[in-house]
Amino acid sequence: MLDTKQKQYHINVSAGDIGKYCILPGDPARCKLIASFLDEPEHISTNREYTIYNGKLDGELVTVCSTGIGGPSTAIAVEELFACGAHTMIRVGTCGGISLGVCSGDIVIATGAVRQDGTSHEYAPPEFPAVSGTDALFALREAAIANGFKHHTGIVQSKDSFYGQHSPHRMPISGALDAKWQAWKRLGVLASEMEASTLFTVGSSLGIECGAVFLCVWNQERFSAGLDTKNDEFHDTTDAIKAAVDAIRILVQNNRKK
């Protein structure tokens, strides 16, 4: 059990330094931008892949903490933020489309995640589903609708190897990788990313509220099918950030009513 009275080893903050509501990007460089959507943004700490800012929404202290890439560093952030008193966490990041209906620039809200990662299996057996918290999911969807964002709600795939997806043909287990990818397509999985399954599973183990929203950078399946004739990527994460920030505001307001 983590010592909640001490400064956390990796994120370098203690209880009282952060808010109960957290927004989790992967990229440390994105933290300052996200914090600019909050009132009174302030840099708190930078250590390894963990950059932390605080700000306020409707007077409530909200924390932005980067997690780095993938499940292991995400699990560390979630564990240590929880030890410091956080009870609600929304990941905001990027993804690659799988379903043909998901286009570059669209927003994807995860209802759950395929656990094609390693970290979540240190927390729960493979039969346990990695699912979003209901309140976080509904708040993200409400925020996307209110802002008029083109969005999709459904299952995403979380993997550990970026190049296992993008260069599967050169991997020794290329056959297994391709077979699973085809399965995700047939099952209607919306997009691929690298952290949601860990966030949802660790969050379930800790009993906290977690959600995830992504910008679709590109959809390789649409390009392969000839639906996108240009290999255009979309990198502006503003809409996904706004959805996450507004969802946190909704959660704060709803919790105050309870």
Q: Which residue has the higher pLDDT, 232 or 175?
A: 175
Rounded Cα distance, 28 and 65, in Å: 8
Which residue ranges make up each domain of the chain?
A: 21-257
Lowest mean pLDDT among 2-6, 36-40, 225-229: 2-6
Q: Which residue has the higher pLDDT, 152 or 1?
A: 152
User: Which pLDDT band holds residue 3 (cuts at 50, 70, 90)?
Assistant: low
Lowest mean pLDDT among 34-43, 155-164, 204-213, 228-237: 228-237
Predicted local confidence at residue 150, as pLDDT: 98
Rounded Cα distance, 252 and 236, in Å: 26
Rounded Cα distance, 211 and 135, in Å: 8
Q: Report which of 56, 19, 143, 130 is spatially closest to residue 92, judged by C-alpha positions.
A: 143
Residue type, 106: D
Rounded Cα distance, 76 and 68, in Å: 10
> Quick check: 1 pLDDT over 60?
no
Give residue-wise pLDDT tens across range 39-79.
999 999 999 999 999 999 999 999 999 999 999 999 999 99
Q: Any long-range contacts for 55-62 (C-beta under 8 Å, 24+ apart)?
A: 57/21, 57/245, 57/248, 57/249, 57/252, 58/249, 58/252, 58/253, 60/19, 60/20, 60/21, 60/252, 61/18, 61/19, 61/20, 61/21, 62/19, 62/21, 62/22, 62/23, 62/38, 62/248, 62/252
Q: What kind of fold does domain 21-257 have according to CATH?
A: Rossmann fold (3.40.50)
Which helix (H) or strand (E) covers residue 10, if one does? Answer: none
Q: What is the DSSP string of 33-50?
A: HHHTTSEEEEEEEEETTE
User: Which pLDDT band holds residue 214 (cuts at 50, 70, 90)?
Assistant: very high
Yes or no: say if 12 and 83 are a contact pair by the CB < 8 Å rule. no
Rounded Cα distance, 181 and 4, in Å: 41
Q: Report which of 195, 234, 243 is spatially closest to residue 216, judged by C-alpha positions.
A: 234
